[in-house]
Structure 1
Amino acid sequence: MAKAKEAGALPDTTVGYKRPPVQSQFKPGQSGNPSGRPKGSQNLKTLFHKIMREEVQLREGEDVRKITKAEAIMRGLVIGALKGDTRSTGTLLRLAEQMGQFEEEERTEITSIQRVIISPQPEDDFPAISDFNKEK
């Protein structure tokens, strides 16, 4: 091969493992997937979060305020559960369980026990104690 390069022959056109034919290789600047995912498209999770953060108007009596769609859904579930709707109750309890609302908080365990003996300062106030200490 070294002789072929020196003589000004055509470049090496060997085809094999990791050496595709030159005519089928991507040209510089050419995409490997021209009809692929368009720029700026969002996946389902991102789209869901974007929609749930959108605000809607909620009317409570005379007041109108804006809340997120997620909060509106949760309020609807709670109101449905309070009215006795079993499906709303089940959904609400399942959500609460998934969020860990029914787990007990970790209690701090006792790591050491200390014994404190308190003795009266003046032995004159308790003559029985002073008599007991003298006998020893």
Structure 2
Amino acid sequence: MSEDRKETKGDYDIGWCKPPKHTQFKPGQSGNPRGRPKKNKDLNRLIQVELDATIPVQEAGREKRITKREAIIKQLINRAIKGDPKATQFVLGHLEKNREVEPFTPTDADDVAVLAAFLGTETKEDDHGNR
């Protein structure tokens, strides 16, 4: 029965792990000629690239190039100025949310003494030897 499955062409047996010569890869021929498919680009990355592209705009009678991101912001602010309540709410809400924190002011000697006293009481060991 096993001899029925084997076909012999000359001295080459065809069978388990021995495919016919005409179906084997030829030297220099790839088993995957088109290669691995390219990965789909990330949507966020595509948006970032597109927003960073520059476009020409007319401003105060002059043409200048700005990014699409800047153009969207200018358009949004212009809509807010013209009275669009949603645009106004978005711009003001964004400003409120991203308001800068006041710069650090150095502490005076009295504040340092109060902090040292507070930290001194906090760092004492308890009955179990913990701080």
TM-score by length of 2: 0.49
